[in-house]
A and B are shown apart, each in its own frame.
Chain A
Amino acid sequence: MPLLEISGLTHRFAGLCAVSDFNFIIDPHELVGIIGPNGAGKTTVFNLITGVYKATAGSIKLAGRDLVGQTPHTITRSGIARTFQNIRLFRELSVLDNVRIAHYGRMAYTPVEALLHIGRFRAEEKRITDLTLDLLSMFKLDDMANEKAKNLPYGLQRRLEIARALATGPKLLLLDEPAAGMNPNEIIQLMEFIGWIRQTFSVTIILIEHQMRLVMGICERLVVLDFGATIAAGLCAEIQNNPKVMEAYLGVEVAQ
């Protein structure tokens, strides 16, 4: 069974069709890229999958269960996590708390236990803090655990955001332009890093990206969006030589 199956997904904002009839299937452990010019509707697809927007039409199924109409927090708990194009950390909270909050759904204690300091409260809080510190040390962020997130350098903020997404325990990880603002050297490191995440956490990844070097280097398949419509889908090599894709990116004359 595919991990995620999207069919006929359509989303309209006040007359503008941001995504129309989007179809997409991804199997467990695949890494698929979504590319397309600015405003093509890529991030809208992520917002629809995570329930931030409600689809006008179509279905999104995670391992057979329909997600359309569910609240973002139930969708997150059923195993989808994401990062954001423009980093969205809790800037004034510590690095530790930024990741701890992603464990919210799995902290099992009642308010009464918390107030009276009894039962599972201490053990659970400690368990989550330990899990978070383990994760931070895997991401080499553990020595900054008590630093405010806003004080981290840009590259580390990106890394922290990915760590936070993984802390929700996802089966499917959605990365929205992880290479934004990186130089070619950093992009090569990022490619290795994404490969490492995929292995270590055995997650399926959908990647939105502008950087062709990155998508061509690590994705197995690509989907190309333009003005909300899917204009091409297939293996990287096929996409590279697709005239429609060249037209969307470079304009009609160049493509001809």
Chain B
Amino acid sequence: MVYIFQQALNALQLGSIYALIALGYTMVYGILTMINFAHGDLFMIGAFFCFLIAVYLHLSFVPTLLLSMLGVAFLGVIIERLAYKPLRNAPRVSAIITALGVGLFLENFTLALSPYPQHIPPLLENTTWTLGTLSISSLQILVIVLSLVLMLLLDFIVQRTKAGMAMRAISWDKTIVPLMGVPVNKIISLTFAIGTGLGGSAGMMYGLAYPVIDPYMGIMVGWKAFISAVIGGIGNIRGAMIGGFILGAVEIMVAAFFPSTYRDFVAFTLLLILLIVRPYGILGKPQPQKV
């Protein structure tokens, strides 16, 4: 029983990181019907920003979090402007190839500057409470609570504010939104800023939970988050959150009961099965093809 509770806690921690990253994929897809394959690498940049700020500026946890989120958000907006915007009316494949290229650029740029893995200094005093055989760390609680707060904030922005209303409208019909007096480019920039900023915050939390960071850390985590977004129904924000927690839970459960090398194999199998049974994801809606 205690064992299961312990694993559930681990699942929540991993799941909330996947969910935060998955939101970036799903938001960009919702608004531009494009997969930003550089998103996993922006997650990695978030961890590196956190490292740089913590090591060179010696800031504490909250300013480090805010600065690395802002930095990644800014980078996300620049990438959209320079790399994706010129391709907005090009075939989707061109934009996706460009995104893969941007991802490779970010990895190799970081590799050039930091060829060796880095250690993020502990920004918080990590206390571990032990209840019998159950151990809960303050970091674990922090990651889960912070992710939930960020997700609630996002949900509020999307459902309750004018910018969120504009995002939802753009995801249904991009061409007529400007005719409602909405500056579409600004909303797209904002979407990128929020999506990549959340990815950056996930990078920092991941870096604190598993303190060794390297330029390739975003690849596998990025794929997993992408799977989460697809499981939840890509383009659907609440779906991405649910998908992240499902994948986190599946991975932890597999690692708990089987050899841990089965983990990724099971994660990708789950994606394949889901794509066969429910190609539009858990909260996604089937798009009937009109003939």
The judgment on whether A and B are partners is yes
* Interface flag for A222 (CB, 8 Å): no
Contact B182 A88 (CB under 8 A): no
Residue of A nearest to B177 (CB): A101
Write the residues of chain B forming the contact surface with A, with a CB cutoff of 8 angstroms. Answer: 153, 156-157, 160-163, 165-166, 168-169, 172-173, 175-184
Given contacts A90-B172, A92-B172, A114-B157, contact A100 B179 (CB under 8 A): no
Contact A76 B180 (CB under 8 A): yes
- Among A72, A76, A107, A168, the one with the most B-chain Cβ atoms within 10 Å of its Cβ is A72
- Among A51, A97, A101, A168, the one with the most B-chain Cβ atoms within 10 Å of its Cβ is A101
A 96-149 contacts with B by CB, 8 A: 97, 100-102, 104-105, 107, 109, 111, 114-115, 125
With both chains docked as a complex, state the minimum distance between the C-beta of A95 and any C-beta of chain B, in angstroms: 13
Contact A52 B179 (CB under 8 A): yes
- Please name all residues of chain A whose beta carbon is closer than 8 Å to the beta carbon of B173 when the two chains form the complex: 88, 90
Given contacts A102-B180, A168-B180, contact A90 B161 (CB under 8 A): no
- Could you tell me the distance between the alpha carbons of A154 and B177 in the complex, rounded to whole angstroms? 21
Contact A84 B181 (CB under 8 A): no
Contact B166 A104 (CB under 8 A): yes
- Please name all residues of chain B whose beta carbon is closer than 8 Å to the beta carbon of A84 when the two chains form the complex: 176
Residue of A nearest to B170 (CB): A90
- Please name all residues of chain B whose beta carbon is closer than 8 Å to the beta carbon of A90 when the two chains form the complex: 168-169, 172-173
The majority secondary structure among interface residues of chain B is helix
* Interface flag for A82 (CB, 8 Å): yes
Contact B166 A72 (CB under 8 A): no
With both chains docked as a complex, state the minimum distance between the C-beta of A218 and any C-beta of chain B, in angstroms: 24
Given contacts A104-B162, A111-B163, A114-B157, contact A81 B169 (CB under 8 A): no
- Could you tell me the distance between the alpha carbons of A76 and B181 in the complex, rounded to whole angstroms? 5
Contact B161 A101 (CB under 8 A): no
With both chains docked as a complex, state the minimum distance between the C-beta of A176 and any C-beta of chain B, in angstroms: 12
With both chains docked as a complex, state the minimum distance between the C-beta of B166 and any C-beta of chain A, in angstroms: 6
* Interface flag for A159 (CB, 8 Å): no
Contact A81 B179 (CB under 8 A): yes
Residue of A nearest to B190 (CB): A111
- Please name all residues of chain A whose beta carbon is closer than 8 Å to the beta carbon of B166 when the two chains form the complex: 101, 104
Contact A164 B162 (CB under 8 A): no
With both chains docked as a complex, state the minimum distance between the C-beta of B161 and any C-beta of chain A, in angstroms: 5
With both chains docked as a complex, state the minimum distance between the C-beta of A132 and any C-beta of chain B, in angstroms: 11
- Please name all residues of chain A whose beta carbon is closer than 8 Å to the beta carbon of B178 when the two chains form the complex: 51-52, 71-73, 76
